[in-house]
Amino acid sequence: MDVAYFPGCSLHSSSALYDAQCKSVLGKLDVALREIADWNCCGATSAAKVDDFLAIALPARNLGIADATGLAEIMIPCSSCYSRTLVAKERLAADPALAAEINAEIGEKVTGKIKVSTGVLYVAAQLIGAVLAVLLLKTIVAGPMEGGLGAHGLNVFDPQVGGGILDDQIADGAGAGLLLEMALTFALVFVVFATAMDPKGPGHLAPAAIGLVIMLDHFVGIPMTGASMNPARSFGPAVVANVWTDHWGFWLGPIIGGAIAALVYENVFMHREE
């Protein structure tokens, strides 16, 4: 299966390893990534703040190049590039006049035929990558020191032996862990939307803001659940170390928390007036 591929600027510089990992993991799934020629920056942290037309035209040009390949689908691993490209595709589909104006300005015409990959490939890549990463860790760490290889678990209060933090009144502590993972992931996804995805947000602060909320989430969550915030992060160690206790909570919590954050930001803040 051949898929058009737009890596974005960061995957050709600071995140080159991510680029190599995407190609390697998806190659194992018989997905061949065909990088589009002469692509340009999506404008995620600059154009979107300066000129609305340019913010759509830059990713639109990449879509036009991808359309010209004749491939049915394009994969974009960078979350900012993915967001800007998806927004551009939706805007062009909803506004034929804007599409005609942009097509008159760029060399590669956007036909709208190519599909921007849905989350299935990204989920598969993250899960496989997580397992491979823990297998690598297992080869590095001495056997007696492996422990659970980073597998997540709940630190539930035990009145008989002392210790523990999470209250055990809801599903023997699993309910409290679920609520905490929902809250941690809500905070992270909300900040990602506010800084990296909202064209009116402070995009230049995205790396610092996202890094800060991850740090705070870990300060709060590690003593109680290990602070998953991503099912793939929990899945890799669970598979390799065969630790599945309360594993469902490390899927359900991040999925619910992230979904709520996305819905709240999209419907309350994303389309606010200037």
- H helices of 193-248, where? 206-221, 231-241
The CATH number for 143-269, chosen from 3.40.640.10, 2.60.120.380, 3.30.420.40, 1.20.1080.10, is 1.20.1080.10
Per-domain residue ranges of the chain = 2-117, 143-269
Q: In this structure, which amino acid lies at residue 178? A: L
CATH architecture of 2-117: Up-down Bundle (1.20)
| pTM of the predicted structure, to 2 decimals | 0.72
Summarize pLDDT for 216-240 with one digit per residue, the tens.
999 999 998 999 999 999 999 999 9
| Cβ–Cβ < 8 Å for 217, 180 | no
Integer CA distances (angstroms), 52 to 41, 83, 182, 215, in order? 15, 15, 34, 33
Instruction: Pick the closest to residue 73 from 4, 18, 162, 156 (CA basis).
Output: 4
Predicted confidence (pLDDT) per residue in 12-63, tens digit: 888 888 888 888 888 888 889 999 999 998 887 666 667 778 888 999 999 9
Tokens of 61: 């040009």
Pairwise CA distance, residues 21 & 19, whole Å? 5
Q: Do domains 2-117 and 143-269 have the same CATH topology?
A: no
Question: What's the confidence (pLDDT) of residue 51?
Answer: 77
Query: Which helix (DSSP H) or strand (DSSP E) does residue 243 occupy?
Result: none
